[in-house]
Amino acid sequence: MTAFFIWARRFAAYRSLTELLARSPLARLAMISAIPLAWIVLANIAPLVQMFVISFYQSYPVDAGTAPEFTVRHYLAFFERPLYLSAFARSFVFATLVTALTLLVMFPVAYYIAKVAPRMRRVRLLLLVIAPFWISEIIRSFAWMLMLSNRGAVNSFLSLIGYSGPPFELLYNNISLTIGVLYLTSLYMLLPLYSALEKIDDRLLEAAADLGATGVRRFSRIILPLARDGIVTGCTLVFLLVVGLYAMPVLLGGPSNTLFASTIGQIFGRAGDSWPLGSAFSMILIFAALAYVGVFMAVLQKRPGRRS
**pLDDT tens across 168-199, in order?**
888 888 888 999 999 999 999 999 999 999 99
Mean pLDDT of the 41-62 span? 90
Q: Is the pLDDT of residue 306 over 50?
A: no
**3 state SS of 71:** coil
- Write down the pLDDT at residue 164: 80
**Least trusted range by pLDDT, from 8-22, 37-51, 135-149, 150-164:** 8-22
HEC string for 228-287: HHHHHHHHHHHHHHHHCCCHHHHHHCCHHHCCHHHHHHHHHHCCCCCHHHHHHHHHHHHH
Beta bridge partners of 57: 70
Q: Say what the alpha-carbon torsion angle 93, 95, 96, 101 is, to the nearest 10 degrees.
A: 120
Q: Is the pLDDT of residue 301 over 70?
A: no
Number of Cβ within 10 Å of residue 184's Cβ equals 23
Beta bridge partners of 70: 57
Best CA proximity match to 297, nearest among 232, 234, 246? 232
For 73-114, what is each residue's pLDDT tens digit? 999 999 998 989 999 999 999 999 999 999 999 999 999 999
Rounded distance between C-alpha atoms, residue 159 and residue 146, angstroms: 16
| Distance, first Cα to last Cα, the chain | 70
DSSP 72: S
Q: Is the pLDDT of residue 285 over 70?
A: yes
Mean pLDDT of the 272-276 span? 81
Cis peptide before 61 (omega within 30 of 0): yes
Number of Cβ within 10 Å of residue 20's Cβ equals 13
> What does the radius of gyration of the chain's CA atoms come to, in whole angstroms?
26
HEC string for 147-159: HHCCCCHHHHHHH
Rounded distance between C-alpha atoms, residue 280 and residue 74, angstroms: 6
Mean pLDDT of the 33-39 span? 87
- Write down the pLDDT at residue 97: 95
- Does residue 242 or residue 2 have the better pLDDT? 242
Mean pLDDT of the 204-231 span? 90
For 106-116, what is each residue's pLDDT tens digit? 999 999 999 99
**3 state SS of 144:** helix
Q: Is 293 left (phi over 0), alpha (psi -120 to 50) or beta?
A: alpha
Of all residues in the chain, what percent carry a pLDDT higher than 90? Answer: 43
